[in-house]
Amino acid sequence: MFDSLLIICTGNICRSPTAERILRQLLPDKKIDSAGVKALVGYPADETALLTAQHYGVALDGHKGRQFTKQLGRQYDLILVMEKRHIESVTRMAPEVRGKTLLLGHWLQQKEIPDPYLQSQEAFNFVYQLIDRACQIWAIKLGG
């Protein structure tokens, strides 16, 4: 089935690392990683994202931004993205992975998860809660 998941956002320093760490807690037997379509390669998680996740009991320590590549996409059974434009970016880079690429918010009526980068703490809290809700549903669907 789906034993490996890759979570994608833009910079790979806010949304996708948060979803990655939440899903790792919920699905400890699966391989779960993250990347960005315009990643800040080597950068740690955004400070506000890190503090927000920490507030909810999720650690983003040790995260380093990673760029999505065609080769990376092929290594995973399921690719979950934050926005519809991420599906387009992933498909441009790796057309063969389109069939296994869905929105993280797929089970939330195809909801896109907005980028909180450089926004208020309230924006980060809102986005964290959306990501958490989406991850909880994915965990149930994937047998967690």
Give residue 127's identity as a one-letter amino acid code.
Answer: V
14 part of the active site = no
Name the active-site residue from 14, 15, 46, 66: 15
Name the active-site residue from 33, 115, 132, 133: 115
Chain centroid to CA 102: 11
First to last CA, the chain: 13
Burial category of 44 from C-beta neighbours within 10 Å (exposed 0-12, middle 13-18, buried 19 and up): middle
The pairing of strands 4-9 and 31-36 is: parallel
92 part of the active site = no
9 part of the active site = yes
| Residue 84 to residues 10, 12, 40, 49, Cα–Cα distance (Å) | 12, 16, 20, 22
Q: Which residues are catalytic, by number?
A: 9, 15, 115
